[in-house]
Structure 1
Amino acid sequence: MQKSLGWWLEYMASIHVSAIDMGLERVLPVARRLGVLNQDLPNKPMIFSVAGTNGKGSTTATIAAICQAAGYKTALYQSPHLLSFTERVRIDGVCVDDKTLIEAFEQVEQARLAEGLSLSFFEMTTLAAFWIFAQASCDVWVLEIGLGGRLDVVNIIDPDVAVITNIGIDHVDWLSDDIEKIAAEKAGIIRPNIPVIFGSNPMPASASQIAQQQGAEIHQLGEHYHYQDCGESWIFANAALTMALPKPKLSLLNAVNAVAAVLASPLAIDLVAVKTGLDIVQLAGRFDQRIIADRHWIFDVAHNAHGMAFFLEQWAAAWQAHLAIYPEARQKIVFSMLGDKDVAAVLECVQNASRQGRIAADKWHIAAIDNPRAMSLEQLLQITTDYVDECNVEQHPSLDKAVQAVIADSREEDLIVVFGSFHTISEALIALLGKPYD
C-alpha cells in the first residue's frame, strides 16, 4: 500500500537528529546517485539561485513568472509553505501533485539508504524537488536558498545567475550576528564568471571580495541598474536599456532585482515577457491583501527587523490609501512570532512607525504559534506590552481564536494586519479558509 504525502512528511521529519543540519558532505553522494547535479542534467537548464535575508520568495516568484511568460518550462522551488507542502515545488506556476512528490520521496529514500546516510527533512525534500525538475526536463530552475548560502543544500546546484537580495541580521544561531560574516555565507552561492545581482546598497566588503575572487560580473542596485517609482508604473534602467513597466502585486524592490536577474542571463527575454510576468506574479503571505469574512486583511510573513522595516513602508502606504476610501476605519493586528527571532527589534520598528503616525493600531490580538519553536503566550505578552499599551493587547489560547476575536472586534471598513512569521500567516489563513495544513 502506497504511503500518503502526510506519512512521508512525518517520516522525513523524524529520521534525522535535527531539523537544520548545515553542510553538503552528506547530501552530495545522495544527489549524485539521484542524478540531479549539474553535470548529470541532460538538457542543461538555466539556473537562478536566490539568497538573502528578506525578499527571496517574491524575487524567485517574479523571476519564474517572467521566464514562464517568455515560453520557458520553468521550475520554482521555495520554502517554507503556508497551507500545503505542494506550494514548495512548482512547474510553470502549478504546484506538483501528491503522487509526483511521493514518487520523488521514494527515490530519495532509496538513494539515501543505498548511501547509508542520514538526511534532514529539508535536505530530503530539496533533493526530491530537484529530482522532479530533472524528470520534467525543465528549461529554467529558479531556486530559493533556505538558510545562508554556502552550506545550504540548495547550493549543491551551480547557478548560472546568482542573486543576493539583501543582507540583514537573522538566524544568528546559524549565521552569526555579524553582517560581514553573514554576507560571506550568502555569497557562497557565487560561482566563477557568472552574473551576480546584489539588490541593495552598499555591498558588504566580504561579498564583494568573494565575487571578485570568482571573477563574477557584479550587477548592483544603484550602481549598475536603477529604478524609479512613477505611481501607477515604474521605470527600470541599466546601461543597455530603459523600460517602462507595470506595478506588480508584490514588492517593487524585489521585482526590480528579479528583472535585473533575467536581463543579466543568457535567456531570450523580451519586453512583453517582462510585462506579462510582472502582471501575473503573485505569492501568498507577501504583502497579501485580501477580503475574507467581509473584512479587509493584509498578511505578511515579516519576521525580522529588516523585513519589518520593508513591510512597514507598504503597510503605511496601504493604510493611507485605505483611509482615503474609509475615513472612519480602524486598524487591528493579529501577531505572533517564533521564540528564536528578535521579537523586540520587530516590535520596535512597529512602535516607531506608530509614533510617527504612519500606522495606528487600535487593538493587538496575540496568541502562541502551534510550533515547538514558538514563543510562549506569557513571553509574547510580556515583550509585546513593552512596546504596546497593555490595555490595547488581547491574548488568546490559539491563533484560530485570535482570528475569530479580531473579526468580532472589527467592522467591515476596518483594516486587519496579520504578521510575525510564516507560521502566523499559515495558521490565520487556515482559520479563515478552513484548508488543511500539510
Structure 2
Amino acid sequence: MSASLSSNTVTTDIPNSQSSLTEWLDYMQQIHVSAIDMGLSRVLPVAEYLGVVQSAKDDAYVFTVAGTNGKGSTTAVISAMCQAAGYKTALYQSPHLSCFNERVRINGEMVSDQTLIQAFSKVEAARLQCELTLSFFEMTTLAALLIFAEADCDVWVLEVGLGGRLDVVNIIDPDMAVITNISIDHVDWLGDNVEQIGAEKAGILRDDITLIYGAADMPYSVQQLIKTHHATCYQVDQDFSYRVQDAQTWQYSNAAVTLQLPRPALSLMNTANALSAVLASPLKVDIAAIEQALKTVKLAGRFDYRDLENRHWLFDVAHNEQGVNFLLAQLLPLWQQHLESQQHNKTGSIKMLFSMLGDKDIGMVVQRLTQADLPMTDWFIAEIDYPRAANVEQLQSALAVHVAPTNIHVFTSLQQATHAVIASSQPQDLIVVCGSFHTIGEALAALEV
C-alpha cells in the first residue's frame, strides 16, 4: 500500500485542542483506509520528526514485550516492580477494556484526556508535515511514546500490538526483549505456522540484546535470530524456573538466586518472565520492591474474579487455544473452591457470556471450553460492537456442534446478554465472560464498572 497522504487518507475535519478525546479517537479511526497496516516505513519519519526515537535511546531503559499470550500481565508486572523501586515508569498496553486511557500509564496512573489530546494534536501536525497517512494504532502509539518522552520517564515498558518486526512499537530500540510464548494467532498477518510467527515476534531483537523467552519450546526461526543478533537468551526451564509452594507463596530460581515470594493475582508464568527481565537488567530493584509489586499488581480481564450484582464473575480475555488452555487450567480448581465455599447449597453451574472476533478460530475455542469437565450449562451470546466482530450466526454455528440449542441464548448486544445472564443465574452460579478484550469491555460497561 502506498505511503502517500493522498492515496490512503480519508478526508474529514481535523479536531483541535478544544475537541474531546472521543472526537479525536473517532477522527483517527477514519483517516486511514485500513485498521491494520503492518510496516514501519510510514511511521518512522513521523516518529523521528517528533523526536521520540532519540528520546527513548538517550533517556530511558526500554523493555519491549512480544508474544502470543501473556503480554499484558508481563508488562504489568515489570512496570510494577520498576515503579516500586523508585523509577518513573511508563507503561504502554493495548487494547483497552473500558477506557482508552488504560493504554497509557505513568507510575501506574492513566494519563488524562487532555494529555492525550495534546499528544494527538502534535502527532497529527507531524503526520501532515511529513505528508504521510497513519493507522489508528500507529497514531495512538506515537502519541503514547511522545507522552513518555515529554514526561522524561526513566523506564519504558512497551507491549507489542501485533507480531513484532513490523509493529509500530518496534521503532523503539529495546534494551531488554521478552517473548512470552509463540502459538498460532493472527494468521492473516503473521503466518500460519510457528516458524513464521516466531520470526515476526523475534523481530524485536537487536544486536547484543538480552532476551527472556518464556516457553519451553523455541522455533528454529527464533534460535537463528538469536544467533544472528548475538543475543543472550534466558529461557524458562533452562535458565530460570518457578513453582507453587502454597496458596500464598511461590519460588523463583535462576543461576544466581532462589527467591520465596508472595503469590500475585496474575499468572506465575508471566510473573516469572517479568521477574527474569527485571533481574537481568542493570536496574536496581531490590527484594522489597519485588515483594511490594507482587502484592499489589493487578490487570483487569486476566483471570479477573469479582463479585458484582450479587453474582460471582470471572473475566478472562482468552481468545485462542493457548489462552483457553491457560484459562481452563486455573478455572478447574477455582470451580472446586467455589463449590466448597457454598455453606449450604453446594451446587451451581457456570453460565458463559461469550463473543469473539470473526478472524479467530471460534470453533476451536468453543470445542476446548465445552470439552472441559465443568458444568457450563448455558451460553449467552451477542455480536461485539467492533468492525471485526463475529456475527451471531458464526457464534451459534460453532456452539451448535457441542451445545443443545435450548442452552444457547442469542441477544442483539453484549449489554442485553449481560443483563440476561444475571436474570437467568443464581447466586451460587459462576458467570464466566471470555472470548475477546472487547467482550470483557462491553460486559464491564454494561455492569457500569
Q: Please, what TM-score do these two structures have when normalized by structure 2?
A: 0.94
Equivalent in the alignment of 2:349: 330
Q: Quick one: distance in 2 between partners of 1:264 and 1:345? A: 37
Q: Compare 116-125 and 381-390 and name the one that shifted more.
A: 381-390
Equivalent in the alignment of 2:128: 113
Question: Which of 365, 368, 373 lines up with 1:349 in the alignment?
Answer: 368
Are the equivalent residues in 2 in contact too, given 1:47–1:141 (CA < 8 A)? yes
Instruction: Give the residue type in structure 2 aligned to 1:319.
Output: W
Q: Quick one: distance in 2 between partners of 1:388 and 1:276? A: 45
Question: Which of 372, 376, 387 lines up with 1:372 in the alignment?
Answer: 387
Deviation at 1:380, TM superposition (A): 1.1
Are the equivalent residues in 2 in contact too, given 1:43–1:137 (CA < 8 A)? no
Instruction: Give the residue type in structure 1 aligned to 2:367.
Output: E
Equivalent in the alignment of 2:303: 287
Question: Which of 229, 242, 246 lines up with 2:262 in the alignment?
Answer: 246
Equivalent in the alignment of 1:20: 36
Equivalent in the alignment of 1:319: 335
Equivalent in the alignment of 1:392: 407
Deviation at 1:42, TM superposition (A): 7.8
Question: Which of 272, 277, 281 lines up with 1:256 in the alignment?
Answer: 272
Aligned residues: 429
Deviation at 1:351, TM superposition (A): 2.3
Q: Per the alignment, in what secondary structure is the counterpart of residue 337 of structure 1?
A: coil
Instruction: Give the residue type in structure 1 aligned to 2:429.
Output: D
Equivalent in the alignment of 1:301: 317
Equivalent in the alignment of 1:147: 162
Q: Deviations over 1:71-129 (max 9, x none)?
A: 10000000000111000000000000001000000110111011000000000100000
Q: Per the alignment, in what secondary structure is the counterpart of residue 379 of structure 1?
A: helix
Equivalent in the alignment of 1:215: 230
Instruction: Give the residue type in structure 2 aligned to 1:405.
Output: A
Deviation at 1:329, TM superposition (A): 2.3
Equivalent in the alignment of 2:184: 169
Are the equivalent residues in 1 in contact too, given 2:370–2:376 (CA < 8 A)? no
Q: Deviations over 1:315-348 (max 9, x none)?
A: 1121111111122222111011111100011112
Q: Which runs of 5+ in 1 are unaligned?
A: none
Instruction: Give the residue type in structure 2 aligned to 1:124.
Output: M
Are the equivalent residues in 1 in contact too, given 2:55–2:149 (CA < 8 A)? no
Deviation at 1:371, TM superposition (A): 1.5
Deviation at 1:231, TM superposition (A): 2.1
Equivalent in the alignment of 1:59: 74
Q: Quick one: distance in 1 between partners of 2:181 and 2:229? A: 20
Equivalent in the alignment of 1:92: 107
Deviation at 1:41, TM superposition (A): 4.3
Equivalent in the alignment of 2:144: 129
Instruction: Give the residue type in structure 1 aligned to 2:201.
Output: K
Over aligned residues, Cα RMSD in angstroms? Answer: 1.1
Q: Compare 323-332 and 230-239 and name the one that shifted more.
A: 323-332
Q: Quick one: distance in 2 between partners of 1:41 and 1:363? A: 49
Q: Compare 72-81 and 410-419 and name the one that shifted more.
A: 410-419
Instruction: Give the residue type in structure 2 aligned to 1:190.
Output: L
Instruction: Give the residue type in structure 2 aligned to 1:331.
Output: I
Are the equivalent residues in 1 in contact too, given 2:56–2:62 (CA < 8 A)? no
Q: Per the alignment, in what secondary structure is the counterpart of residue 286 of structure 1?
A: coil
Are the equivalent residues in 1 in contact too, given 2:76–2:299 (CA < 8 A)? yes
Equivalent in the alignment of 2:10: none
Equivalent in the alignment of 2:13: none
Q: Deviations over 1:168-194 (max 9, x none)?
A: 111010011111010000000011111
Q: Quick one: distance in 1 between partners of 2:394 and 2:202? A: 35
Q: Please, what TM-score do these two structures have when normalized by structure 1?
A: 0.96
Q: Quick one: distance in 2 between partners of 1:251 and 1:41? A: 29
User: Does residue 1:10 correspond to 2:29, yes or no?
Assistant: no
Instruction: Give the residue type in structure 2 aligned to 1:19.
Output: A
Q: Quick one: distance in 1 between partners of 2:274 and 2:56? A: 25
Q: Which runs of 5+ in 2 are unaligned?
A: 1-15
Equivalent in the alignment of 2:4: none
Q: Quick one: distance in 1 between partners of 2:333 and 2:406? A: 27
Deviation at 1:412, TM superposition (A): 1.3
